Amino acid sequence: MKTTISMKFALPLFTALTLGINSAHAEDSLEKLKILGEIRIANTQTSPPWSYLNDKNQPDGYDVAIAQEVAKRIGVPKVVFVADNFKNFVEGLKANKYDMVMNDLTPTEERKLQVDFSAPYGVEEFRIFRLEKNSDIQGRDDLAGKSMGVTSGSSNESWARKHLTQSEVRTYDNGGLVFNDLVNGRIDFIVTSWFSGENYRKTNNLPITAVGTPLTYQLSAAALAKGRDSLKSAVNVAIGEMIADGTVDKYAKQYIGDYYHMTEGIKKAQAEE
């Protein structure tokens, strides 16, 4: 017996199938970047050893090297680095000024409400830095009533405002200015990563020192606008491969030195979460 499908039912069926196909291809953030052939990645370019301008005036540093390797592994041949401040990163992603942020950015709960984060590819151990001659500060118990400098919009700022409520928190747009004011006595201490603080101290021959035990550990991950699921998934795979094959530790040793074993540090920080 011959069966005839009425157009009354065929049209909705065709429409439903079409919608299903379109929905399957609606999230194509990675494919768009592959077609374009480039990805825009934001960093400060003023926060060594994570990102800075080298002697050829080109972006360099740990995050820059990781970003370039990630781009290669997800199939996007060119990285365009966009200089911006920590305080602008979240809004910059939401406004599509760039596709990702990779600059020692901590996936805090506040930021997760607004943007997505990849798997972590870095970690930092944060300590108190003060002038060598300022023996009044030996550890966390000595910080009440003292002034502290932080980079505006950084996880240091949010952590300090939450945990060091008896200290005066002063914000700076440029990380270098924080150290300048510490050396000049305008602030009493800084809480910053051991890597960055020691690197800056040695490079600039500053009379400062780290004291006390680590205050906190902070993971760093790539940030991207919400809904970029295919891009996020590919970045996660790339980072997982880079951790497994030793690439992450290779770049950490190159740019940060022997202060920390990066992949082991990531595991320790995740265990504390």
Which pLDDT value is given to residue 265?
A: 86
Residues 6 or more apart in contact with residue 240 via CB below 8 angstroms = 119
Average the pLDDT over 39-53 and give the result.
94
Q: Please provide the average confidence, as pLDDT, over all residues in the chain.
A: 88
This prediction has a pTM of 0.72
pLDDT tops 50 at residue 4: no
Q: Domains in the chain and their CATH numbers?
A: 29-123+220-264 (3.40.190.10), 125-217 (3.40.190.10)
Given a cut of 50, whether residue 3 has pLDDT beyond it is no
- For 168, the token pair is 């005066």
| Amino acid code (one letter) for 14 | F
Query: At a CB cut-off of 8 Å and minimum separation 6, what does 100 contact?
Result: 39, 40, 41, 42, 67, 93, 222, 223, 224, 231, 235
Q: Report the b/e string of 149-171 with b at 16+ CB within 10 A.
A: bbbbbbbbbbbbeeebeebebbb
Is the per-residue pLDDT at 199 higher than 50?
yes
178: Cβ–Cβ under 8 A, 6 or more apart, which residues?
Answer: 149, 150, 151, 172, 187, 190, 192
Cα–Cα distance measured from residue 252 to residue 141, given in angstroms and rounded to the nearest whole number: 32
Q: At 152, which amino acid appears? A: S
d(CA 140, CA 126): 12
Judge whether residue 257 has pLDDT over 90. no
User: Residue 44: its pLDDT value, please?
Assistant: 96
Phi/psi of residue 40, nearest 5 degrees: -95, 120
In tens, the pLDDT along 112-135 reads 999 999 999 999 888 999 999 999
Which backbone phi and psi does 82 adopt, to 5 degrees? -115, 120
Structure confidence by residue, pLDDT tens digits, 231-248: 999 999 999 999 999 999
Give 261's strand partners: none
Which residues on adjacent β-strands are paired with residue 59?
A: 53
Judging by DSSP bridges, how do beta strands 51-53 and 46-47 pair with one another?
antiparallel
Query: Quick check: 23 pLDDT over 70?
Result: no
